[in-house]
Amino acid sequence: MYNAKVKNYQKEALKTRVAGADRYEIIQMLMAGAIEKMVMSKVAIEKKHMEAKAEHLSKATAIIEALRGCLDFEVGGEVTENLYALYSYMIDRLVDATIKNDPEIVDEVSNLLKEIKSAWDAIPHDVRQQTLNENGIDANVG
């Protein structure tokens, strides 16, 4: 009962955060969510909870697929192409981790995503604002 209430609260809190977020913040949340799911999958692998492992890796993979699907090749050029290839590699490696039950592969992917997230997090707020404004998006509205 208590666990269900906590999960419901977390779900509502996430909805509130997403509703007030711009595109940059949503990407940050997606990356953080994928990293969290990979941490949970490692714990599941180590505890031999294969159903939980599969669920967490599946969710992490889906998030990375969503990140890959959001890439804008018209704007990003070579950086976008490199990110697309890296996300594809990460997805393939998560499939390997699922098949092999290998937490080291999960670590590899998690570390790659942490590097991307670190670079994303380092984008100055004024640059974000300018980019959103150039694309005709009100940064104060999700």
Per-residue pLDDT at 23: 85
> What is 23-121's CATH superfamily?
Flagellar protein FliS (1.20.120.340)
**Structural tokens at position 33:** 């969510």
All residues at 6 or more sequence positions from 78 whose CB lies less than 8 Å from its CB, including other chains:
none
Cα–Cα dist 16/54, whole Å: 28
Yes or no: say if 83 and 116 are a contact pair by the CB < 8 Å rule: yes
Delimit the domains of the chain by residue range.
23-121
All residues at 6 or more sequence positions from 98 whose CB lies less than 8 Å from its CB, including other chains:
53, 54, 57, 58
Per-residue pLDDT at 139: 44
Interhelix angle 23-46/73-100, rounded to 10 degrees, is 10
DSSP state of 72: -
Each residue's pLDDT expressed in tens, for the chain with a length of 142 residues: 556 655 554 555 555 555 557 888 899 999 999 999 999 999 999 999 999 999 999 999 999 999 999 898 888 889 999 999 999 999 999 999 999 999 999 999 999 999 999 999 998 888 778 777 776 654 444 4
